[in-house]
Structure 1
């Protein structure tokens, strides 16, 4: 009997990061990706690594109790690890959490006068789980703080009372974060929300948004 082939969860993160880097959504060392393992721990991109050139050693493992697994080169986890931890605690079904920095995400965050961004009733919303005709859908928007824990605390506080309509959130002038039940779905969600953002920016430019 053949033994099962074990696939390292980090390989999908490497592929997704390279794809997002090529789209211009993870320039320099910006952005962070994580995926959760069966024991509740998760791999997250290390701080200060180019997302277009990640290797297996460019990730840090975080355990449910917050313990950080030491790496050979003493890499530090992403500065936004606290946000990933909150997402995984709030949504037990979530397996992956992806955060990218695109120009469009930052622009549309400025379209929201309050703490939500109204989304156009596009077909793409079905890919995010919104199966309604002409849905009235919004994406939560959070203020950006230098101390990431403050952002994580606000996400926890708000989502504990008002769950989001879509598995995504915006941090103003910072970027978008999505979460999903698989790495493939998380990658698709990033592509879908970025399509919606590009539509909104284009619509704003020609005066239909």
Structure 2
């Protein structure tokens, strides 16, 4: 089952690369194997030309990679999501211009999206009048510290669909590749709309 999911993820990585959403080998993607393991893209690989051989097995509990190869820098964020959300089976981390710029323009800890029909592309959203909160965390080169802050946040506030890292990009997830991809594309559209709204307000 996870092997098939990995194949679908590789195709999605090519789609992400073609859109320019993971430039200069940036970004990282993963699939859950089971409760213990996930498969994460190797550091320094061009996401537009990944193959299944460019993914390595990583322990969800402690981020270790039995192969000795180097997983992506944000490994700790992927494994955190798998620990926090047992239903999550795919994680996508991208460096889109819209997500990166908007995360800096919004100075609060939450980006509130409201009034967009495309909010309904996000799982569980059925009304454009709802307010969709997207958490924003200050970027940190210490991924363990960043993961700890995100985990603390998730203990008291809902963390759905994805989150922004300020000046860095977007991390989102889903129960399968199709859901993760849909939510990535939906959020990216919403971010672009919000940037344009602020520009012309």
Q: TM-score, normalised by structure 2?
A: 0.92
User: How far apart are residue 131 of structure 1 and its match?
Assistant: 2.1
2:43 aligned residue: 47
User: How far apart are residue 32 of structure 1 and its match?
Assistant: 0.6
Task: Indicate which of 99, 102, 108 corresponds to 1:105.
Answer: 99
1:152 aligned residue: 147
Q: Is 1:169 paired with 2:163?
A: yes
Specify whether residues 67 and 153 from structure 1 end up closer, same or farther in structure 2 by C-alpha distance, changes over 3 A only: closer
Task: Indicate which of 45, 52, 77 corresponds to 2:71.
Answer: 77
User: How far apart are residue 68 of structure 1 and its match?
Assistant: 3.3
Q: For the residues of structure 1 that align with 2:46 and 2:69, how far apart are their CA atoms?
A: 13
Q: For the residues of structure 2 that align with 1:176 and 1:16, how far apart are their CA atoms?
A: 16
Deviations 1:115-162 (A, max 9, x none): 101113211112212223511221100000111112111110001111
Q: TM-score, normalised by structure 1?
A: 0.89
Q: For the residues of structure 1 that align with 2:148 and 2:25, how far apart are their CA atoms?
A: 24
Number of residue equivalences: 200
Q: Is 1:132 paired with 2:127?
A: yes
Structure 2: which 5+ runs fail to align?
none
Which ranges of 4 or more aligned residues in structure 1 deviate by more than 4 Å? Answer: none
CA RMSD across the alignment: 1.8
Q: For the residues of structure 2 that align with 1:38 and 1:70, how far apart are their CA atoms?
A: 16
Higher helix share: 2
Q: Secondary structure at 2:115's aligned position in 1?
A: coil
Q: For the residues of structure 2 that align with 1:65 and 1:86, how far apart are their CA atoms?
A: 9
1:96 aligned residue: 90
Residues 60, 68 of structure 1: 8 Å contact kept = no
Q: Is 1:14 paired with 2:10?
A: yes
User: How far apart are residue 38 of structure 1 and its match?
Assistant: 3.1
- Which of structures 1 and 2 has the bigger CA Rg? 1
2:57 aligned residue: 61
